[in-house]
Structures are given as C-alpha cells and as structure tokens.
Amino acid sequence: MSEYQQKHEVSKFIGAPPGYLGYDQGGQLTSSLEECPNAVVLFDEIEKAHPDIITVLLQLFDEGRLTDGKGKTVECPNAIFIMTSNLASEEIAKYATKLRSQQHGDSKEKVTVSKQFKTNIMYPILKVYKKPFSS
C-alpha cells in the first residue's frame, strides 16, 4: 500500500472525479471489483496507506459497495478483503514472550497494543460479520 501514501492517490483507487484527467478510466479497485465482485483482495501493509484510503475502505467493508469517481456504485457484498500490517509486530512478539513467562509464573506484567490507527477507523474494521456460507 506504499503507493497510496499521498492524499491524491484516492483517485487512483476509486477513479478521478469529473473534469480531471483519467476520469473516463475508473479506479484500480473499483474497476477490478466491477469485473469480479466476488474477488479476494489483499491490502498488504495497510498502515502505509493514506488515512483517506482507509476511510474509503470503511464504506466498502461496512456496506459491501463502493462508489467510483463517476458516481457509479460497485456492489461487492461477497468479496473477501485481507489486510496485512507490520504495525504491532514488535509488540506482538513481546506479548508472546510475556505470555510464555506468565505460563511459567515468571511475569504478571500486562501488555498494551499499538494505537497508531485511529479508533474510529479500527473498530468498524474489526467488527465481526457473521454471514452464512453458501452451499
């Protein structure tokens, strides 16, 4: 996601707004989801993306649809989105070490988790969606 670090990269993601160069081409994500609404999409190292990209993704995760730069809505309620992050990798490793210590009775220290992501962004992402599997 490092190529989406700047605010203006949102237009690359969902398409340029009317009147801008490339308006007729659509966005990388919206075009791909329009072609294959049941896709499996990987967002690698999501913490590198600009916060506006995360905000765009919230609509997608919450509603199962995304509106492109032309105003066209792309429906994809069955798509699967996977996000990876190295954001708290050191803290996770420390936590694992402390858990092992607690099992052996060596430590009772609590571990805190990284708070670099805004709370209002992370809670919707971490919501539990329970959908029945199709047969």
Question: Is the same domain home to 78 and 108?
Answer: no
Structural domain harbouring 10: 2-83
The predicted structure's pLDDT at residue 123: 56
The predicted structure's pLDDT at residue 125: 58
**Overall pTM surpassing 0.75 (yes/no):** no
User: Once rounded to an integer, what is the mean pLDDT over residues 44-72?
Assistant: 87
Question: Is the same domain home to 35 and 96?
Answer: no
Where are any strands of DSSP class E within the chain? 40-43, 65-67, 73-75, 80-83
Question: Is the same domain home to 124 and 62?
Answer: no
Q: Flag the least confident range among 1-5, 110-114, 119-123.
A: 110-114
Question: Is the same domain home to 47 and 112?
Answer: no
Q: If you count DSSP H runs as helices and E runs as strands, how many of each does the chain have, helices first?
A: 5, 4
Q: Could you tell me which of 59, 57, 60 has the C-alpha nearest to residue 47?
A: 57
Report the alpha-carbon distance of residue 76 to residue 82 in Å, rounded: 14
Q: Flag the least confident range among 24-28, 33-37, 110-114.
A: 110-114
The predicted structure's pLDDT at residue 111: 45
Count the domains in the chain.
Answer: 2
Q: Which of 66, 83, 100 is the endpoint of a domain?
A: 83
Question: Is the same domain home to 23 and 73?
Answer: yes
